[in-house]
Amino acid sequence: MLIQELFGIELPVIQAPMAGVQGSALTIAVSNAGGLGSLPCAMLSTQALRTELETIQKETNKPFNVNFFCHTPPEESAQQEKKWREALSPFYDEYDIDQREIPQGPGRAAFNEDTAALLKEFKPAVVSFHFGLPTSKLVAEVHSWGAKVLSSATTVEEALWLEQQGVDGIIAQGLEAGGHRGIFLTDDINTQVGTFALLRQVVNAVKVPVIAAGGIADAAGVEAALALGAAGVQVGTAYLLCPEANTSKIHREALKSQAVDNTALTNLFSGGPARGIVNRVMQELGPMSTVTPAFPLATTAIAPLRAAAEAQGKGDFSPLWAGQNVTGCKEISAAQLTKELAKG
């Protein structure tokens, strides 16, 4: 079954939810163009989520996807936080930042009963999760209004686990993909494989529709994914330069520079592995580090450095999320991009 049939949409393209660089404007544009627009909700307050959902329902009557994180919130470790701040301290000195005055960083709330209750008012057609799934009771709650439930798999084992929990589709997230890895059954990044390898293995292993993600940037990429047995694709990076995205000026400039040929998995910005353009802090402390606190706790201590550097026009401490194929990034409307991706 192709995702057009699964979700009741026209084109085989899901716009990947990208927390921090987009809101409802991108969701609306993609859904109205016939793809499946997505709203990243992990960093939204309840009130902000309600406002975004109201906006989307006002601007489109097409299906859309809301995306949530469902990590288990980690216990805070004072010792680990100390190590992390020690590693950052030369940079604090450089930017004259007083460690004692660092405010709590932006949270990433895991999906819970309140979120489910709020969603039920709006009945979005698709709800996708990253880092596994919430409790089976919450998954049942989401299914209760007829929503399709998706989650990301980064290994065959994760795909089998998700299928057993009753998901309606699985996003096979290849190593090329930008942003956070959906990895949740292991923390060994050697298990993470490229889209060509992962997609085919997941398609062979499960019966539910599989959506390809990672390295897909044009119509040929969509065709290739379908040839490998995908039911559709999820594309993120290509949308980063669209006017409907909130991608910062620093991030946009990095995407248009030579620097974009060098991405890496890094845990410096949140504590969890995510792919971004290699910048100064990744070069000097990583890209992977053992001193960061668990996801998402690393964000707090690096946030003031990011703010201070960005104020000087520098992305040295910013997460410059990008996948390994940025050739699809174009400064065109999200509607046009969606149609170009699907024209194969």
Radius of gyration over every alpha carbon of the chain, rounded to an integer in angstroms:
19
Which of 87, 156, 274, 305 is in the footprint of its own copies by CB under 8 A?
A: 156
Cβ nearer to its own copies, comparing 78 with 227: 227
Q: Nearer Cβ to its own copies, position 204 or 246?
A: 204
H or E segment to which residue 151 belongs: strand 148-153
CB closer to its own copies, 118 vs 185: 185
Which span sits near its own copies by CB under 8 A: 108-116, 133-141, 187-195, 310-318? 187-195
In the block, which residue shows the tokens 């084992």? 157
Residue 264 beta carbon to its own copies: minimum distance, rounded to whole angstroms: 4
CB-count exposure of residue 341 (10 Å: 0-12, 13-18, 19+): buried
Q: Tell me the torsion sign for CA atoms 243, 244, 245, 250.
A: positive
Residues 249 to 268 in contact with its own copies, rule: CB under 8 A: 261-264
Nearest to 37 by CA among 57, 20, 14, 54: 14
* Cβ proximity of 35 and 236 under 8 Å: no
| Residue among 34, 196, 252, 288 that touches its own copies (CB under 8 A) | 196
Query: Any residues with CB less than 8 A from the CB of 17 and at least 6 apart, and which?
Result: 38, 39, 40, 41, 65, 66, 67, 128, 236
DSSP string computed for 14-51: EEPP-TTT--HHHHHHHHHTTSBEEEE-TT--HHHHHH
Rank residues 105 and 194 by Cβ distance to its own copies and give the closer one.
Answer: 194
Is 247 or 263 the residue whose CB approaches its own copies more closely? Answer: 263
Q: How far is the CB of 205 from its own copies (least distance, A)?
A: 9
Among 190, 207, 312, 313, binds its own copies (CB under 8 A): 190
Going across the sheet that includes 179-180, the strands are 179-180, 274-277, 263-266
Cβ-Cβ contacts under 8 Å for 264 (sequence gap 6 or more): 275, 276, 278, 282, 286, 287
Least separation in angstroms between residue 11's CB and its own copies is 17
Helices (H), the chain: 3-7, 24-32, 46-59, 78-94, 113-122, 136-143, 156-164, 195-205, 219-227, 249-256, 280-285, 298-311, 334-341
Q: Among residues 43 and 259, whose Cβ is nearest to its own copies?
A: 259
Could you give the string, one character per residue 280-299, with x where binding to its own copies holds by CB under 8 A and - elsewhere?
A: -------x------------
DSSP secondary structure letters along 248-277: -HHHHHHHHSGGGG-EEEE-TTTSS-EEEE
The whole-angstrom separation of Cα 269 and Cα 213 is: 22
CB 328, min distance to its own copies, A? 9
Tell me the two tokens of residue 14. Answer: 């899901």
Using CB under 8 A as the binding rule, the residues of this chain from 200 to 259 that contact its own copies are 200-201, 204, 214-218, 220-221, 223-225, 227-229
Smaller CB separation from its own copies, 19 or 260: 260
Minimum Å distance from CB 77 to its own copies? 25
Query: In this chain, which of 194, 280, 310, 330 binds its own copies, going by CB under 8 A?
Result: 194
Query: With respect to its own copies, which residue has the nearer C-beta, 174 or 296?
Result: 174
Please report whether residue 324 would count as binding its own copies according to CB under 8 A: yes
Query: Stretches 10-18, 43-51, 64-72, 149-157: which one binds its own copies (CB under 8 A)?
Result: 149-157
Interacting positions 23-52 with its own copies (CB under 8 A)? none
Instruction: Give the residue with the Cβ less far from its own copies, 41 or 228.
Output: 228
Strands 64-69 and 126-130: parallel
Residue 93 CA to its chain's centroid (Å): 32
Q: Which of 299, 323, 334, 338 binds its own copies (CB under 8 A)?
A: 323
| Site residues, its own copies (CB under 8 A) | 155-157, 174-176, 188, 190-191, 193-198, 200-201, 204, 214-218, 220-221, 223-225, 227-229, 261-264, 278, 287, 323-325, 327
